[in-house]
Amino acid sequence: MSATLKRSLALGLTVFLICPFNSALAGWVFISKDNVGNAYYYEDSKTVRDSANSEVSTWQMISYSEALTAPNGAPTQSVIQDISYFCRAGYESYKQFYIGYYSGPGGSGVSVEQIDTSSSAWERVIPDTMSYLLYEFFCKPPTTLK
């Protein structure tokens, strides 16, 4: 292989690896945007449905349209959270187990804070909110193929 070809391949591989299109969004599935432009995603391969207990556990990511502040004061543009939904009618609720704050959009940049929220209480889902839209998304019955 010629030296020129080797350099071209090395350059191409380097560009691919550092390209902004090779983002942290790989593996994340878009759900929706809210009324201020924040984008919501979930990691499909990490979603677990427990029909016997009416529960769905998943990893979600919110990519904010504008920078916010993490609890420690650091600027953040996205969060990733481990969350479960209790999908029984009349008991619509969710519980967050972990949240990570990131400096860039789509879970990119550096981790600026991580919080174990596993001791938090289950919270009721409030109708007509983004929380309710996410609840409905995860708690809808799986579609069956005919």
In this predicted model, what pLDDT tens digit does every residue of 59-82 receive, in sequence order? 999 999 999 999 999 999 999 999
Q: Is residue 62 part of a domain?
A: yes
Q: Is 85 a member of any domain?
A: yes
- 96 dihedral zone (left: phi>0; alpha: psi -120 to 50; beta): beta
The total domain count for the chain is 1
CA dihedral 45, 33, 125, 82 (to 10 degrees): 30
Q: Is residue 66 part of a domain?
A: yes
Q: Residue 79: which domain range?
A: 25-139
Question: Considering the domain boundaries, does residue 13 fall inside one?
Answer: no
**Has residue 16 been placed in a domain?**
no
- Token pair 């390209």 is found at 19
- Tell me whether residue 6 is in a domain: no
Which residue ranges in the chain fall short of pLDDT 70? 1-26, 142-146
Assign residue 132 the CATH number of its domain.
2.40.128.710
Tell whether 121 is covered by a domain.
yes
Residue 142 has a pLDDT of: 63
pLDDT at position 18 is: 34
Per the domain annotation, does 144 fall within a domain? Answer: no
What is the structure's pLDDT at 27? 86
